[in-house]
Amino acid sequence: MAAGYGIVMPVAQRRLLLISVVLLCVGAGAGLLWLRRDTPPRPAPRSHRGIVIHHTATAPTAGGQPVTAATIDAMHRRRGFHVTDRDGTTYHVGYHYLIQQDGTVLVGRPEHLPGAHTRGYPDMLGIALIGDFHRASNRGRRGPLAPPPAQLAAAERLTAALLRKYRLTTGQLYLHRDLGQTACPGDGFPRRAFYADVAMLLARSEDW
């Protein structure tokens, strides 16, 4: 029994070793897959020279319902901002993204299409926060005078993600009024906090 036991043990140990190695390989493989999945791809898509932040200069709701991309699409339809995608879909909304006051992000027109939000800058992505943050046009009738925290946070996250995706810096991030004769996105828009938060998010994402 003792001799038999002596022979059995090394085999068991070898099996244990084999199982350990297999588990280690499976673990490493899964780890690599997880890393691949979690590392955002760095494509070099159609170039965008920057990102422009807007407000829609509308009330946050229409007829008791939150303003949607369709609402803005209908508004922009009258302005002739439309572009037709390769698949035949026509987009009137000039912004690439819209953000509702609860932080919901809506797609306006696909990122690969030129923007129609800042005259002379079709090669910039446009993000519009739904609402009117300009005292003179809001006049207390178009919701809060500054983006609610959830909306601002969503705008910051989206902006940081897009800057990173297109390898842009905060030097290529503009408010509409930096580029044109407009108050957009309003005097209530917290520029300093927005830029600081976006820079912080970008710095954090560089550690990935």
- Positions in the binding site for Zn ion (CB under 5 A): 54, 176, 184
DSSP helix/strand/coil, 75: helix
Least separation in angstroms between CB 118 and Zn ion:
7
Cβ of residue 24: shortest distance to Zn ion, in angstroms? 55
- Residues 133 and 189 sit within 8 Å (Cβ to Cβ): yes
Q: Which is nearer to Zn ion, 48 or 176 (CB)?
A: 176
Q: Which residues contact 27 (CB under 8 A, 6 or more apart)?
A: none
Specify the residue for token string 């009258």: 78
Nearer to Zn ion, 43 or 80 (CB): 80
Give 54 or 76: the residue with its C-beta nearer to Zn ion.
54
Minimum Å gap between C-beta 147 and Zn ion is 14
**Minimal distance in Å, beta carbon 116 to Zn ion?**
11
Nearest-approach distance from CB 26 to Zn ion, in angstroms: 52
When the beta carbons of 86 and 119 are compared against Zn ion, the nearer one is 119
- Calpha distance 64→100 (Å, rounded): 14
Residue with tokens 């390989």: 25
Instruction: From 96, 118, 94, select the one nearest 106 (Cα to Cα).
Output: 96
Collapse the DSSP code of 51 into the 3-class scheme (helix H, G, I; strand E, B; otherwise coil) and give the result: strand
Q: Which is nearer to Zn ion, 4 or 51 (CB)?
A: 51
C-alpha dihedral, 6 to 8 to 12 to 18, nearest 10°: 100
Q: How far is the CB of 128 from Zn ion (least distance, A)?
A: 7
Share in percent of the chain as helix, strand, coil (round to 5):
45, 15, 45
Strands (E), the chain: 50-55, 61-62, 65-66, 83-84, 90-91, 97-99, 105-107, 124-129, 173-175
Nearer to Zn ion, 54 or 142 (CB): 54
